[in-house]
Amino acid sequence: MIDQIAPADFAKWLTDVATAHPTRQAVLLDVREPHELQSASVGSSTANPAYRLVTIPMSLVPLRLAELNPEQPTACLCHHGVRSMQVARFLASRGFADVVNIAGGIDAWATQVDPSIGWYQG
């Protein structure tokens, strides 16, 4: 079972991760396509050393799995939360023990956390 967190709870998740794993930096894995990243990006509006932003399109995650560390807590993000949930399940099946999905994706992030990142269709 993959936990889902609301974008508004991401900061609390980061705090919980830092408390539970003080030597492990969290990863925010954005699995959207490059053209989607140009439309709206958490990385462009959030400078937070508590996590590292990694962008890998969903279709390339299996090929680029070695770029991710199963020991690092990982939060997956996409446009609405569907693709990122699939990636979170895939990661869990590959031994990632601390993986969550950001419910509602970047669309919910723009509503709950930072409206300046914008919305887009597609």
**Which of 78, 88, 100, 102 is labelled catalytic?**
78
Known active-site residue 78: yes
Strand order in the sheet with 99-102: 3-5, 99-102, 74-77, 26-30, 51-55
Question: Residue 26: beta bridge partners?
Answer: 51
Euclidean distance between CA atoms 73 and 99, whole angstroms = 6
Collapsing DSSP to helix, strand or coil, 10 comes out as: helix
User: Which residues carry out catalysis?
Assistant: 78
